[in-house]
Structure 1
Amino acid sequence: MNFIVLQFNELKKLIWFFIGLVALSAGFICVVQYVLSTTDWIKTSLSVWQVLSFSITSSLLIIGVLLNKFRIKHLWLGNLLSKPSINGLWKGRLISSYKKDVDDDPLPPIEIYFYIKQTYFAISIQSFTKSQRSESILATIYTNNFSSSTKFMYIYQLTRTKNSENKITLGSGELLITDNCSKMEGVYWTNSTTHGEIEMNLVDRKALSIDSFISAETHVDSLNIS
């Protein structure tokens, strides 16, 4: 499930883009109608309301297709849309506070992959380790206009079914996006009282069809990235 999450300045840009698209569409229709009216191809003209109705409908369709279907796979496209591009496959490590017993040593860092799908309207994340996978319920990118820092924040659901378990864990993460959208680092929390740190590095912004730890690992190996 993907929710539409927009900051106020993004909503304003979207409204102005929509108005401009409607005006451009209406102007194009009027020009075509004028050209055709000078020939024998057209005998009747469209009313103002018909022109506006068609322009609004076509503009909504264009926005829906362009901004909701096409993923932000390029930095230049992210800059054009004022959206940091974090689409693609990420590899990193997770440092967890989990201990089976209080006196146990901390767990060693855990290898983890993020697979992020990002459009203008929505963003989703799947994470994979060797033993677990999770999927986002809600995710967004937030930019602080005062500090110019940009964070990726998400709420996720982790389902455990192995070893006779039947448990759902909810958690959240907050990662700072740095180095020209090629690194993320931050913290995560879960409702099972565990927390930890996450460090991620971009592997491939254009990666497709990653659905498991093995497929993520295979994709990285194909790129000769350690």
Structure 2
Amino acid sequence: MNNLSLTETELQRLLKVYVSLVLAVAISLYLLHMLLGYETLTAAWRAISYGLTCVTFLFGIFFKLAWRSPRIARWMRRPMVHGVWRGTLSSDFHQADKSPLQIPIIFVIRQTYLTISIESFTKSQEGESKLEALIQNGRTEATRLCYVFELKRLYQGENKLTTGAGDLRLINDSKQLRGHYWTNSPTFGELQLELISRECDGVDCYEIAERKWPSTITKSS
């Protein structure tokens, strides 16, 4: 089950809209049922039940799909990070007589209005987020994606689990993510990502992304 990624203000705004819509639909249905000759209690019960069901169903569709429309997302002031992102991980880890590591990386971010999940893939490592937050600064309108992650390294017989945190800023009309990460290895590095698709279905490893978008992956290799 994903954690909610809404701020307290966003959640309060959402609850107000939900309650207002339920009341509006319930009152309309109540008046309609009264005109049709239903008893008062029956009309009230049916109106409330139908109002809750209808608004909850519509909200479910909205949370999953509709809000991803760029116009609706802007109207709701909810930044959109959903999609497949590609770029480069630059790490301070280095070996003697070798340059610091620069590794092509893929991020798959799945977002609903309420939740966010992040997967990362390189040729030798897989990572997933355990805690996520999409933070907006009301004064500067800056947006940051912050997350805690676990990283699995399965390479040449090695089986290693690393934990860490990332802090990325959403820039360039929501088309780029740029920032830093830290791990308990300990290592520190920089991430630069750009959006290549809003379609995440079926992308569950680096090789799949490489086959689907070969030209963009090659650019960051």
Which letter does structure 2 place at the counterpart of 1:84? P
Which letter does structure 1 place at the counterpart of 2:160? K
Tell me how far 1:53 sits from its aligned partner. Answer: 4.5
Q: Does 1:123 align with 2:119?
A: no
Q: Which residue of the other structure, out of 200, 208, 219, is the alignment partner of 1:215?
A: 208
Note the residue ranges of structure 1 that are not aligned, 5 or more in a row. Answer: 38-42
Which moved further from structure 2: 49-58 or 157-166?
A: 49-58
Q: Does 1:143 align with 2:136?
A: yes
Structure-1 residue corresponding to 2:98: 105
Alpha-carbon contact 2:104-2:217 (below 8 Å) kept: no
Match of 1:166, SS state, is strand
Structure-1 residue corresponding to 2:188: 195
Tell me how far 1:8 sits from its aligned partner. Answer: 2.1
Alpha-carbon contact 1:71-1:119 (below 8 Å) kept: no
Tell me how far 1:49 sits from its aligned partner. Answer: 5.1
Match of 2:162, SS state, is strand
Take 1:92 and 1:125, find their aligned partners in 2: how far apart are those partners?
Answer: 15
CA shift in 2, pair 1:161/1:57, >3 Å: same
Structure-1 residue corresponding to 2:76: 81
Alpha-carbon contact 1:71-1:118 (below 8 Å) kept: no
Tell me how far 1:155 sits from its aligned partner. Answer: 1.0
Note the residue ranges of structure 2 that are not aligned, 5 or more in a row. Answer: none
Which letter does structure 1 place at the counterpart of 2:62? L
Tell me how far 1:188 sits from its aligned partner. Answer: 0.2
CA shift in 2, pair 1:32/1:104, >3 Å: farther
Alpha-carbon contact 1:139-1:155 (below 8 Å) kept: yes
Tell me how far 1:57 sits from its aligned partner. Answer: 4.6
User: What CA RMSD, in Å, does the superposition of the two structures yield over aligned residues?
Assistant: 2.4
Alpha-carbon contact 1:99-1:107 (below 8 Å) kept: yes
Q: Does 1:18 align with 2:18?
A: yes
Alpha-carbon contact 2:33-2:43 (below 8 Å) kept: no
Q: Which residue of the other structure, out of 174, 182, 186, is the alignment partner of 2:175?
A: 182
Match of 1:99, SS state, is coil
Match of 2:99, SS state, is coil
Q: Does 1:52 align with 2:48?
A: yes
Tell me how far 1:3 sits from its aligned partner. Answer: 0.5
Structure-2 residue corresponding to 1:94: 89
Structure-2 residue corresponding to 1:172: 165
Aligned length: 218
Take 1:170 and 1:71, find their aligned partners in 2: how far apart are those partners?
Answer: 34
CA shift in 2, pair 1:71/1:27, >3 Å: closer
Take 1:71 and 1:215, find their aligned partners in 2: how far apart are those partners?
Answer: 27
Match of 2:4, SS state, is coil
Take 2:203 and 2:128, find their aligned partners in 1: how far apart are those partners?
Answer: 13
Alpha-carbon contact 1:88-1:203 (below 8 Å) kept: yes
* Identical positions, percent: 31
